[in-house]
């Protein structure tokens, strides 16, 4: 895995004399499987070793590395955390945690992990290079194996930020009602249209309040590339197309953020403690980045699922499938969040389709489709 640092290239192999025999045998088998690049088998053996000796921090480190090789970064992070719990002063555990966070694209937490590891082992060249690689990316320069870079610096702007709280609440309400399982189809369709309509009105108000009312504004590249201008035509087409459930997620996400911001001093402050804290967290820089990342991922899921609606709605759904694909393709070039979402899904599919148990014909078909899809953003942006 190019994005997980080199420390995960080989499991740790301290003297086995202190280990129970069963754990030592399982760890040896796991190490052999790891070196043979059979990472599923390595995980199995390391799991057996952990069952025999659950206090050995090295075993969790080894399994963390095997998980990372399979791009199972959440499991890798859990094992790295357990390793650190058992041996907080062992630098390798923090290195494993950093590698897992890199895989999860949580660059800031990866930096924290590597810095802690280097505090314990200042001359570790692998952690030094991994940390420098992330820092170069976050600074926007240099070549690196870290894919996708970091999010834009400073507080990002959520689309429709200047809209009204009433429209934001209505967008959320109609979206929630749309997903109620007992609604009739006509009522669900009406809620879908109302959710999109209130979202569209929010974009319109935001543009009206946020830009000069002059002809020059219509020619301003910043205006033309704004989130609201990009989403407004798409939302209009969605209003007159068969429902795409994922399509409500981005406007609802933006509406949630807008509602919390506009009502923070009134309704939000009166919420119960935990709920209030979670709502106000959305207004922090981290919460705002998370909002935009979730919306971008929902955009990608909508584009992927849109062609499937042609199975039930025929070619009535073809137009929105093409339009949404163009929207995501253009956003790929203008939005770090969309670019990161596309790269994350691509890397996950790469791992699945290049797995040794994946049929060759499926891998070949995937490579062809990937080539066609990869060229589409360049054509759409030109």
pTM greater than the 0.85 cutoff: no
C-beta contacts of 281-289 below 8 A and 24+ residues apart: 282/256, 282/257, 283/257, 285/154, 285/155, 285/156, 287/257, 288/155, 288/156, 288/158, 288/257, 289/151, 289/156, 289/337
Q: Are 131 and 101 in contact (CB under 8 A)?
A: no
Q: How many CB atoms lie within 10 A of CB 158?
A: 22
Which tokens hold the place of 252?
A: 């609802």
What CA–CA distance (Å, rounded) separates 57 from 87? 6
Q: Which residues 6+ apart lie within 8 Å of 19 measured at CB? A: 27, 53, 56
What pLDDT score does 107 carry? 80
Q: Which residues 6+ apart lie within 8 Å of 289 measured at CB? A: 151, 156, 337
Which tokens hold the place of 342?
A: 């596309």
The parts of the chain modelled with pLDDT lower than 50 are 1-7, 15-18, 140-149
pLDDT tens-digit profile of 155-180?
A: 566 766 556 888 889 999 999 999 99
In 3D space, the residue among 2, 150, 126 whose CA is nearest the CA of residue 69 turns out to be 2
What pLDDT score does 373 carry? 65
Q: Is 146 exposed, middle or buried (0-12, 13-18, 19+ CB in 10 A)?
A: buried
Q: Are 257 and 280 in contact (CB under 8 A)?
A: no
Which tokens hold the place of 270?
A: 């009166």
What pLDDT score does 143 carry? 37
What pLDDT score does 56 carry? 94
Q: 10: which DSSP letter?
A: S
What pLDDT score does 306 carry? 83
The position carrying tokens 């996400």 is 253
Backbone angles phi, psi at 311, to 5 degrees: -65, -30
What pLDDT score does 258 carry? 85
What CA–CA distance (Å, rounded) separates 17 from 40? 26
DSSP string across 282-325: TTSHHHHHHHHHHHHHHHHHHHHHGGGGHHHHGGGGHHHHHHHH
In terms of DSSP H, where are the helices of 36-87? 39-52, 57-69, 73-86
What CA–CA distance (Å, rounded) separates 150 from 344? 13
What CA–CA distance (Å, rounded) separates 235 from 245? 13
What CA–CA distance (Å, rounded) separates 287 from 257? 9
What pLDDT score does 99 carry? 92
């Amino acid at each position: 895995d190019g994005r997980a640092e080199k420390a995960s290239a080989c499991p740790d192999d301290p003297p086995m004399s202190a280990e129970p025999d069963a754990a030592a045998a399982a760890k040896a088998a796991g190490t052999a499987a790891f070196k043979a690049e059979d990472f599923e088998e390595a995980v199995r053996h390391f799991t057996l070793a952990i069952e025999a000796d659950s206090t050995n921090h090295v075993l969790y480190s080894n399994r963390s590395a095997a998980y990372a090789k399979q791009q199972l970064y959440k499991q890798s992070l859990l094992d790295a955390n357990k390793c650190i719990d058992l041996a907080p002063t062992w630098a390798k555990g923090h290195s494993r945690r950093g590698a897992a966070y890199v895989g999860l694209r949580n660059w800031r937490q990866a930096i924290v992990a590597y810095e802690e590891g280097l505090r314990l082992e200042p001359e570790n060249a692998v952690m030094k290079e991994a940390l420098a690689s992330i820092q170069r990316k976050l600074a926007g320069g240099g070549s690196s194996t870290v894919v996708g870079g970091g999010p834009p610096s400073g507080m990002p702007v959520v689309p429709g930020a200047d809209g009204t709280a009433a429209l934001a609440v209505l967008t959320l309400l109609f979206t929630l009602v749309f997903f109620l399982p007992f609604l009739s189809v006509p009522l669900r369709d009406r809620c879908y249209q109302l959710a999109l309509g209130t979202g569209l009105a929010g974009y319109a108000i935001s543009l009206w309040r946020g830009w000069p009312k002059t002809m020059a504004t219509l020619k301003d590249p910043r205006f033309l590339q704004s989130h609201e201008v990009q989403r407004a035509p798409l939302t209009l087409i969605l209003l007159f197309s068969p429902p795409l459930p994922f399509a409500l997620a981005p406007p609802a996400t933006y509406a949630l953020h807008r509602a919390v911001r506009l009502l923070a001093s009134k309704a939000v402050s009166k919420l119960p403690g935990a709920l209030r804290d979670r709502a106000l967290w959305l207004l922090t820089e981290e919460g705002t980045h998370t909002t935009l990342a979730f919306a971008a991922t929902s955009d990608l899921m909508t584009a992927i699922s849109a062609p499937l609606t042609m199975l039930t709605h025929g070619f009535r759904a073809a137009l929105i499938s093409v339009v949404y694909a163009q929207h995501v393709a253009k956003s790929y070039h203008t939005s770090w969040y969309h670019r990161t979402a596309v790269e994350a899904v691509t890397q996950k599919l790469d791992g699945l389709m290049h797995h040794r148990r994946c049929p060759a014909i499926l891998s070949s078909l995937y490579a062809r489709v990937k080539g066609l899809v990869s060229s589409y953003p360049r054509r759409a942006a030109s």
